[in-house]
Every structure is written in structure tokens, then in C-alpha cells.
Amino acid sequence: MNDFRNQSPAGRVVGLWRYPVKSMAAEALAEVDVSWHGLAGDRRWAFVRGDAPRSGFPWFTLRQRADLNHYRPSFVEPERPDKSPTVVRTPSGAVLEVTDQALAAELDPAGIRAIKQDRGIFDTFPLSLVTTQTLSALGEMVGDRLDVSRFRPNLLVEATDEAPFQEDDWVGRVLQIGGLRMRIDQRDGRCVVITIDPATTVRTPEILRTVARERQGCLGVYGSTVAPGRVSVGDAVVVESAT
């Protein structure tokens, strides 16, 4: 294995999030264990639409309900998230089990149901990363300061170099982040979810149009675990030398 002690960091972790229920609110973390299946407890639950058999994308997400981010999931036993019961605090303040039919009925009276997958319910890869420089550059393009939660990453990295979009250059490389080794597999292709303001639910289509026009529809990167380990806010991010 490479010796990273004398390598200069490419950046540091300034934000960590997991999403216990797909498309619901994030849980901000100070540190987390990362396994072969992503962050412990990340996207283990999702809601499936009633028309799932006729759809290649069966999940009930922010596409269908823009305020889904206002529903806040958490773990009854946060020290063991992959084994813990999961509950959801609704915007009204009610706390319901994720499998409670009352929650499904509130979200979509037409009919949805909660399912769990221990390997996580990911659109592409189990890890996602974006740099602060990239978000700032996109904000300048669209003339707005964009909240990172709009993009729903697992890791937010403040790069040492101020150039934006540099995570694109990490595709095909392995990052050492705390105890984790993470391979960057591909750029993150974006959808209409990034047009939704997490606080107000107002949609700004120009954000997605700009990403499509200027960045080939991609912003940030996807990755997978090479060696499991613990990651903390403040950890250095080191790009392994290419072999």
C-alpha cells in the first residue's frame, strides 16, 4: 500500500452527510464508518411508487414531492445505524416508523410503500463527492449562492487548489480520506432534483440547464469503496499516485 505521510493533501473534508431514507433530509455527521456499501445507514430505505412495475425508476423521490427533504429520518440507535429501527419526523412534528402506513399515506395517497435494502438504494455508486470550489463556480454561473444540500453529496471537500471542477480529474484515481480508500469511478450525472431549493421547494430550471450546457450534465463525482474505514470532518484528502 502507498505511504501517504509525505504526500500533499488535495483538500480536506468539510462536510459529511448520509440519507437514511432516499430523497428525505440528510443527517449531518462529524464522523462515520464507511463500508463496501457506503456510509453506515446511508439510503438503506426508500419508498416505491405504486406504478413501479411500469417504470425503470420505481422510487418515490423529490421528483414527485418537492418537500420530501422536509421529512427528517433518524435512527433509534444511532450508534448502530445499519441495525437500528428508523423513524421519520414529519413537518408537523409527528414521529413515525418508516414502515408506518400513515407515513406512506401522508406522502402519497395514491399508494407507495417503504422497502429496505441492506446494501443501500443508490442510483449509481454508493459514494458521492463534490468540492466547495465547484459549488461556488456553479453559483457564479447562475447568479446565486447554492446550498450544498441541493446536491445531496456524502462528502464535501474543500480543495487545496482553488480551481473549480477539479474532482473531475480524480476520475479513475483512488483517494485516501481518513481510514477510507475511495475510488472515483465517474462524474455525477445530474437530474431535476438539483433545481429544487431544499428550504422553499421553489424550482430553478436554469441550474440544471447550466450544468447541462457547461458541464455535460455532470457536477461532482461518484465513487466506491476500495478499503473500508472511518472518515471524519477535517480529514485530509490525498490523491494516490497513478500506477
Domain span at residue 92 reads 11-239
Q: Is the pLDDT of residue 242 over 90?
A: no
- Residue 226 is assigned to a structural domain of this protein: yes
**DSSP per position, 88-149:** EE-TTS-EEETT-HHHHHHH-TT-EEEEE-TT---SS-SEEEEEHHHHHHHHHHHTSPPPGG
Report the sign of the C-alpha dihedral through residues 130, 135, 141, 143, in that order: positive
pLDDT value of residue 62: 97
Q: What 3-state class would DSSP assign to 161?
A: coil
Q: What 3-state class would DSSP assign to 195?
A: helix
- Residue 44 is assigned to a structural domain of this protein: yes
- Residue 121, amino acid: I
- Residue 4 is assigned to a structural domain of this protein: no
pTM of the model: 0.94
Closest CA relative to residue 225, chosen from 4, 17, 13, 40: 40
116, 44 in Cβ contact below 8 A? yes
Closest CA relative to residue 189, chosen from 167, 208, 164: 208
CA angle 117, 121, 127 (to 5 degrees): 125
Whole-number Å distance between alpha carbons of 159 and 34: 21
- Residue 50 is assigned to a structural domain of this protein: yes
With a CB cutoff of 8 Å and minimum separation 6, the contacts of 194 are 150, 151, 207, 208, 211, 219
b/e map 223-239, b = 16+ CB within 10 Å: bbbeeebebebebbbbb
- Residue 5 is assigned to a structural domain of this protein: no
- Residue 162 is assigned to a structural domain of this protein: yes
CB atoms within 10 A of CB 65: 17
With a CB cutoff of 8 Å and minimum separation 6, the contacts of 132 are 14, 156, 157, 158, 159
pLDDT value of residue 52: 62
b/e map 177-194, b = 16+ CB within 10 Å: bbebbbbbbebbbbeebb
pLDDT value of residue 1: 45
DSSP 8-class letter at 242: P
Note the pLDDT tens digit of each residue in 28-64.
Answer: 999 999 999 999 999 999 999 987 656 568 999 999 9
Q: What 3-state class would DSSP assign to 174?
A: strand
Query: Which CATH number is 47's domain given?
Result: 2.40.33.20
Mean pLDDT of 67-95: 96
* Helix (H) or strand (E) segment spanning residue 211: helix 205-215
- Residue 201 is assigned to a structural domain of this protein: yes
Note the pLDDT tens digit of each residue in 100-147.
Answer: 999 999 999 989 999 999 999 999 999 999 999 999 999 999 999 999
Whole-number Å distance between alpha carbons of 114 and 131: 32
- Residue 2 is assigned to a structural domain of this protein: no
Q: How many domains does the chain have?
A: 1
